[in-house]
Amino acid sequence: MPFKALLRPLIDYALPPRCPICGVTVDADNRFCLSCWQQMDFLAKPWCVACGLPLPFEHLEDSLCGKCLTEPPVHDGVRAVVRYDDLSSLLPMRLKYGTRLGIAKLIAEHLQKFVAECSDNALIVPVPLHPTRLWRRGFNQSVLIGRELARISAIAMNYNLISRCKITPPLRGMSGPQRRKTVDAAFALCNDAQASLAGKSILLIDDVYTSGSTSNACARLLKKAGAEQVFVFCWARVISSFENG
């Protein structure tokens, strides 16, 4: 028996696995307690074929949400584990600002269920941080999530294909065209990106999907370099009452 396995009971006694949200003791690492699990809104089909927005009742498989009927996204859909709310938001917050790095593995394990619908020619690309923010934080949470997803899915990851060359101001209050202009100028492709992206199905990794401006900006560059599809993989998605119908 491996030495680590022999020590497992002692470790669990001294540092028992705990729910990453409320902190109560649970059966195993990276597990939620029943109460927190039941309070989260896990997202599933049916969803909009263009953006992945969950639809409130059964639709045909090629149905579009109201927004995508008039303004389809550049990306090919969002695959989010849960709806963003006060409870689910605690995980990305603790990962980014509480340095609870093990949460990246938990998120990746939940994202793995979406991998099956992607083509065999897939590539994981994390949303980049500006170097200044990366230096202050010490890590990019999207890279950590992407690395864990790459490990458990055996899909390659490349975090050097796209860079964030400009820190953007808060997008709240900006019009659609203003948001696009702001974020499009914030990202750049590396010189040899085309060779790595041609014909690929990209899994663009982020922690939270809000307005879609950042994801669309990245998807626009990736597709320009030859990517066939770009799916956004994230832990939580902001869904307004208007979107939810």
Q: pLDDT per residue over 136-184, tens digit each?
A: 889 999 999 999 999 999 999 999 999 998 887 766 677 767 777 788 7
- Whether 63 is in a domain gets the answer yes
Q: What predicted TM-score, i.e. pTM, was given to this entire model?
A: 0.88
- Rounded Cα distance between 210 and 239, Å, is 8
Residues 6+ apart with CB under 8 A from 167: 130, 132, 133, 186
In this predicted structure, what is the pLDDT of residue 3?
45
Give me the residues of the chain with pLDDT under 50, please: 1, 3-14, 245
Classify residue 226 as left (phi > 0), alpha (psi -120 to 50) or beta.
left
* Residues 35, 53 within the same domain: no
- Whether 87 is in a domain gets the answer yes
- Whether 245 is in a domain gets the answer no
* Residues 79, 35 within the same domain: no
Domain that holds residue 15: 1-39
Q: Is 122 exposed, middle or buried (0-12, 13-18, 19+ CB in 10 A)?
A: middle
In this predicted structure, what is the pLDDT of residue 243?
58
In this predicted structure, what is the pLDDT of residue 244?
54
Sign of the torsion angle spanned by Cα atoms 73, 241, 233, 51: negative
As a dihedral over the C-alpha atoms of residue 121, residue 127, residue 130, residue 134, rounded to 10 degrees, the angle is -100
In this predicted structure, what is the pLDDT of residue 7?
45
Residue type, 231: F
* Residues 55, 90 within the same domain: yes
- Tell me whether strands 122-126 and 162-164 are parallel, antiparallel or unpaired: unpaired
- Whether 4 is in a domain gets the answer yes
The total domain count for the chain is 2
In this predicted structure, what is the pLDDT of residue 241?
61
- Whether 244 is in a domain gets the answer no
In this predicted structure, what is the pLDDT of residue 242?
52
